[in-house]
Amino acid sequence: MYDPSLTLNNSKILYSDYSDDEIIQMEELYGAHHYERLKIVVRQAKGCWITDIKGKKYLDCLAAYSAANPGHHHPAIVRALTKALHGNYASVISNVVYTDPLGLFLKKAANFAPQLGPRFGDNGNKVLPKNGGVESVETSIKMARYYGWKQKGIPDGKQEIIIFDKNFHGRMITIISFSSKLKYKQGFGPLTPGFVSVEFGNADAVEKAVNKNTCGILVEPMQGEGGMNIPVPGFLKKLREIADKHDLLLIFDEIQVGLGRTGKRFCFEHDNVVPDGLILGKALSGGLVPLSVFITNSKLMDLAFQKGSDGSTFGGYPLACVAGIAGLNVIEDDNLVESSAVQGQKLMKKIMDIAKHSPHVKEVRGRGLFIGIEVKNNNAMNFCRKLLELGVIVNDSHGHTIRISPPLNINDNEIDFLVQRLKSVLLV
């Protein structure tokens, strides 16, 4: 129902001119209620810290699900975007012409990953840019299905892709079709067919699921939303063997775990496995501009995507590409991969010490700065709310796990700030 008291006042030029209650009321009245939000209104964010409208600071240990890996408003990325805006790159030029930011970004992204799909030859990589991560997941599905039809002779419409329980790849209609969470898909049918779900970490189940119509395997090298789950040793290598044996495309979704998050440039490096296709997003632009990519062997990209077979108005638009180049440069220039490994090891040790004496902790698991604290009784959100009151922003994963994933440049003092507050809620 329209409420004239909430009409925007043009004289209020700063969002902070509105009270918390006014901002929350506007969202409740005019927005879809599809998120359960923590009850703070953020005004500013810089580095590892978020400031609410009242001026209270919070240590951000969520980092927008890895979108803010380099910290909020990283100065190098902000400078690049500001320069681009002043250079008239902000408009959508469309993909009917060439732009120098796109070419430079594609080159940077293609070379940022190792040679993908090495069994298809040392051809270099090619990149297809999109906006939100779910778009690049769908692009990877198109790739696998086309490969199955063109190269394996699977009848079009019969292609199948193996996926895993507790997966999270987004919430568009095709992606929710193979989600393990009923609330993501109930009532949104008819759902997209062509997916076979097996237990995460169970390579034998994957082998049994392969049939004449199987064209690919889509997996997160470490699950985030599913509970911060690390696969059993050897699982990804076994997937590589199965994919090679049956001529399947192995695709890794590293939107949340790539680009340094787990202490390696890519999470798959922990297992010394190289996929055929790679999905990246979130941290690509430092969280400032929506940007994602699907990267694969040049031979595969040229096979599946001819002129007119795919497109996106904003996919690869100049401003996003400028942010993407800057974001990838920051990962290298600021040694964020090394920082994640070193700081993650420090934080993990301190959390493990807490867990030994906590009546609430069931298990701690993680890699780099991607750490989950599984608590008893599926009440992780209760601890998240308590931490919020103490000035720390975290969220739950799968109901039972506190997700800790701060910016990769978190320093020692900030780690101590977090640890003291974890002690306050987990040792009582």
Q: Given 238, 276, 282, 383, which residue is catalytic?
A: 282
Q: How many CA atoms lie within 13 A of 276 on its CB side?
A: 26
Q: In what order do the strands lie in the sheet with 42-46?
A: 42-46, 49-52, 57-60, 392-393
Phi and psi at residue 156, to the nearest 5°: -60, 130
For residue 266, what are its two tokens?
């890519």
120 Ramachandran zone, left/alpha/beta (phi>0; psi -120 to 50): alpha
What is the dihedral angle through the alpha carbons of 287, 292, 298, 300, rounded to the nearest 10 degrees?
A: 150
Q: How far is CA 392 from the centre of its chain?
A: 21
Residue 294 falls in the annotated catalytic set: no
Rg (CA), the chain: 22
Nearest to 381 by CA among 398, 361, 360: 398
Q: How far apart are CA 180 and CA 166, in angstroms?
A: 5
349 catalytic? Reply is no
Which entry of 166, 178, 253, 268 is annotated as an active-site residue? Answer: 253
CB distance 278 to 113 below 8 Å: yes
Catalytic annotation on 417?
Answer: no
Write down the catalytic residue from 168, 252, 294, 314.
Answer: 168
List, by residue number, the catalytic residues.
168, 253, 282
